[in-house]
Amino acid sequence: MPPKSRKPEGIAPKMLFDQVKSTAPWAFTKDPPLPAAAILSRAPELDKLWKDGKAGEDYFLFSLAAHFTTVGTFCPTDVDVRIRQHAWTELEGKRLATAIDRVFEIAKWDPRAVSARTVTVGKEVLAGHQGEWFSVLAGALGRALTLEDNEQVERTTAWIEKELTREAKLVTNARKKGSDQELLSIVTTVAHNLGDLSRVVDTWRPAHMESEVGKRYRRLGHEDGARFDGAFVFAGELNKKLMAKENHRFLPLRVPRALRREREFLLPFGPYFFEWGQMIGSTKLLEDQERAEVLLALARVHERGPEELGCLRAIAGIHAGYTGGIDKLARLLPASDVMAVRRPTVQRAVREKEAEFLRRFHADVDR
């Protein structure tokens, strides 16, 4: 039965498709093709249904595909609130169950295709994408609790618990035998994922938020909510100590549009940007003027947060990868911008060897 006609809500599919293509054009040319690309390519057809208020579940799936594709890019699409909250408000019965099925399916997609912030340990892949699915399923769980739909409560809770158990195990194992970089990449991802989960639980109705289920998920990274032998408390504390300031949105990097052109340009975990910077400095996929724009954007990041180290390591990488270094690239910038690149802190970072920086940074890792 086709969905009941209603007033369209959210971003028009064609507009959302254009946003995805603007920030991740490479997603539509990958071989083998991404499942998300096939869904997003239906935008013209879906746009007609959306305007008539009949897009229904197809629009929800479309929004999930857009989020999957762009959440690891410089300019994520703005569908967070819809897929975490609004989409669930009128679903019930079979429609609620089917929407949850769609999330389970998409949660199986490999985030490495669309994100450079992933950790692979054996057959396990950890990424911030799992936090996105935590948040979406938390929205579904809140709706199921409201409806007293025990079957859907059990299904969503089972997925969340299984993923929490997996992530806690990754933290514990990395703490025992992982490299410092692996451990820090894991704890920053897990801290992000737990934050996504708790933020949506905090939007539930007060009775559900204060229920046993709500309390179970609201403070997993805090002592008073400790589970899994304290793995999440450890992750939260280490992330706050070293990594939180290194993995923000880097808004100035939205300015150089050339960075959106290739999958290879996506940022890895901070502060490990040196090799990324080397690639930016040496790749034939960028013109020198584009390289200079990236250099300036990184200098702007430093201006906004002098305590953040990754942008400086990226600049050091560009200096090492580009013949003539950053001084030569700075000649391509307007005179008013050159001083941003010549700051003493930038010049000191350029002189510091990456191995020396890593020894200094990892000295504060407390296992």
For residue 89, the enclosing domain spans 79-246
Instruction: Tell me the one-letter amino acid at 49.
Output: L
pLDDT in tens, 328-337: 999 999 999 9
Phi, psi of 2 (to 5 degrees): -65, 150
* Domain-embedded: residue 319: yes
Q: Assess whether 127 and 140 both reside in one domain.
A: yes
**CA angle 274–186–99, rounded 5-degree value:** 115
Handedness of CA 19, 24, 30, 32 (dihedral sign): negative
Q: Assess whether 144 and 291 both reside in one domain.
A: no
Neighbours of 355 (CB within 10 A): 9
* Domain-embedded: residue 367: no
DSSP 4: P
pLDDT in tens, 183-223: 999 999 999 999 999 999 999 999 999 999 999 999 898 87
pTM of the full predicted structure? Answer: 0.95
pLDDT in tens, 141-155: 999 999 999 999 999
Q: Assess whether 88 and 183 both reside in one domain.
A: yes
Structure tokens belonging to residue 92: 């019930």
Separation between Cα atoms, residue 140 and residue 329, nearest integer Å: 50
> How high is the pLDDT of residue 39?
97
Number of domains observed in the structure of the chain:
3
Q: How confident is the model at residue 1 (pLDDT cuts 50, 70, 90)?
A: very low
Q: Assess whether 88 and 235 both reside in one domain.
A: yes
pLDDT in tens, 79-126: 999 999 999 998 999 999 999 999 999 999 999 999 999 999 999 999
Per the document, the length of the chain is: 367
Q: Assess whether 162 and 295 both reside in one domain.
A: no
pLDDT in tens, 24-76: 999 999 999 999 999 999 999 999 999 998 888 999 999 999 999 999 999 99
Q: Assess whether 122 and 172 both reside in one domain.
A: yes
Where are the extended beta strands (E) located within the chain? 118-121, 124-127
